[in-house]
Chains A and B, each alone.
Chain A
Amino acid sequence: MTKILVVAESALRELLRRRSVLVILLLLPLAFYLSRRGDHLGQSIRFVCLGLGWALSTAALFAGSAARGIEPRLRLSGYRSAHLVLGRLLALWTVGALLSAPYFVLVLVDQHDVRYGAIALIMALTVVVAAPFGLLLSAVLPRELEGTLVLLTVVGLQMVMDPADQATRALPFWFSREIGTYAIDHTDGGYLTRGLTQGITFAVVLTLLVAVAAAVRLRRRRHLRFA
C-alpha cells in the first residue's frame, strides 16, 4: 500500500506542477458548458460531462506517456506494475474529482428541475472511466500525437452520433448521454440502469486492460533469472 501511495503522491505532484495544463483542463469543460447554454440548458450538462471526460483522458494520456521513461527504473527498484498503475490511477481520479467539483456546483446553481444525484453519478463515472481510458491510449500509442487524435475522434463521435444508435454503446462515454437523459428529461429508470451498466463495465474493462498492458510492457523477461 505504501508503494501505491508514494506513486500516487508523485504522480499528483507532477500533474499539479503543470500549471498551464491545469488551467486549460479546468477551462475546457466550461467552454463545452457555455457552448450549449444559450439554446438548451440540459444539453449543456451533457456537454460539460463530455468536456470533463475529454480533459481528464488527455491528462491521463500525457501522464502515462511522461511516466514511460522512469517506469522501467521503478520496476527494477522493487515496484510491481500493479503498484505503478494503481498509484497513477489514484492520482488521476483525485484530479478528476477536484476538477468535477466546481462543475457540479455550477450545475446546482445554474440548472433547475434536474436530478442532481444522477448528474453527480455521471461526473463520478466519467472520472472513473476517463483516467484508465487515457492511460490505455498512452500504453497502446506511445506517441502523444496519435493518442490525442484518437481522443479527439472518440469525443467528436460521442457528440455527433445519435445516442440511440447501437454503435454508440461502444464509445466509452455513452453512459453520460443515457444517464443524462434520465437526469434532465426525467425519463424512467431504464436509462439509468443501461447507463450505469455500460459505465461500470467500461471502467472495469479499461482498468483491467491498463493493468494487463503495464504488466506485459514491464514484465520480467524470461532470460533473466535471479539466484
Chain B
Amino acid sequence: MNHDAWLAALTGELRRHGVGPDLTGHVVAEAATHLAESGEPPLAVFGPPQAYARAVADSLGGPDQRPPRRRPGPVRLGARGITKRYRGRTVLDRVDLTVRAGEIAAVVGANGAGKSTFLRICAGLVSPDAGTVQVDGALGYCPQDGGTAEFLDPDEHFVLVGAGRGLSRGAARRAGRTGAAALDWTPPAGTQARHLSGGTRQKLNLVLARLGEPDVLLLDEPYQGFDRGTYLDFWHEVWRWRDAGKAIVVVTHLLNQLDRVDLVLDLTAPGERAA
C-alpha cells in the first residue's frame, strides 16, 4: 500500500470513527508529513489504517455521537391523520408527523407496524384511507428493495433518474459518482445492477434518491446489506444532509441510532408497546 492509498484509507476510517473533519485533516496531514520525511512504508510506521484510526478515536474518548445543535427551518413534510386499513385491519391509525428543514425523523415499529406503508403514503405511491400529506419542495425516495433496473449499469441509472430531475448526462454522472464516493463506493463502469451485491445495490438506490438534491428524503431501511463501515458512512451522510437543510425521514428498526435523530415516530401498537 503506497502513501496516498494509505492516507486515503485513513481519512475514510477516521470519518467512520466519528472524528470531525478538522481533526481528521490535522491527523492526516501530520501522518503525511511524517511519511514524507521518514520515507518509510506507512504500514511499518503506523500499521493498518483501520487500527490507527481506531487508536486515534479512542485517544479522543470515542466518537462524538451528539447531533450538532442547529435551528430547524420551515416545515417540509406534514402528514396529518394518516389512516390505512388492509383487509379490515387498521395498520395506521391517525398518524401525524411534521418534519422541518434540517431535521431527521426516524420511523420505528415492529414488523408489520406499517412503517414502509407510511413512507409510501408520504411519497404518494399509496393512497391512505384518510389523511393528507403536505410537502414543500422536491421529494427523493429510496425504497427498501427494487427501484433499480436489472440490466442498466450505475452510470446509466444516474443518467436516467437525473434526466427526470433536469440534469444533463454529465451532471447526472458526476452527481451520482460524488454521492457514491461519500459511501466509499466507486461504481464499476459496465456492471449491470443485477450483478451488484445486495448492499452495493442499496448504495445505488440511496445515491439515486439523492440525485438532484431533493428537499425531502424518504429512506426506507436503506442500509440493508451494508457492512459496518458503510453503515457508519451512511449515518454521516444523513447528518451532513440534515446540516445542509434537508428534511429526512428514515424507516429503521435499529434502535441504537435513535439518539442521533431529532424525532421518533413509533408505529408500534400501544398494546404491543406495553407488552
Contacts and interface: CB of A to CB of B under 8 A. Distances in A.
A99 to B, nearest CB: 18
A40 interface: no
Q: Which 3 A-B pairs have the closest CB atoms?
A: A77-B164, A224-B124, A78-B164
Contacts of A74: 160-161, 164
Interface string B125-137: 1111001111111
B143 A223 contact: no
Contacts of B125: 72, 76, 221
Contacts of A6: 159-160, 163
B139 interface: yes
Interface of B: 121-128, 131-137, 139-141, 143, 146-152, 156, 159-161, 163-166, 192, 208, 211-212
A13 B193 CA distance: 13
A37 B257 CA distance: 70
A225 B160 contact: no
Nearest to A15: B151
Contacts of B135: 224-227
B216 to A, nearest CB: 10
Contact of A66 (B150, B192, B208): B150
18 contacts: A10-B152, A14-B149, A17-B192, A70-B146, A70-B149, A73-B141, A74-B160, A76-B140, A76-B141, A78-B164, A221-B124, A221-B127, A222-B127, A223-B131, A223-B132, A224-B135, A226-B134, A227-B136
A164 B126 CA distance: 47
Nearest to B192: A17
Given A69-B147, A76-B141, A13 B152 contact: yes
B160 A17 contact: no
Contacts of A78: 164-166, 212
A67 B147 CA distance: 9
A76 B160 CA distance: 12
A224 to B, nearest CB: 4
Given A6-B163, A14-B152, A69-B148, 15 more contacts: A10-B156, A18-B151, A66-B149, A67-B149, A70-B148, A72-B123, A73-B141, A73-B143, A73-B161, A76-B125, A77-B164, A78-B166, A78-B212, A224-B133, A226-B134
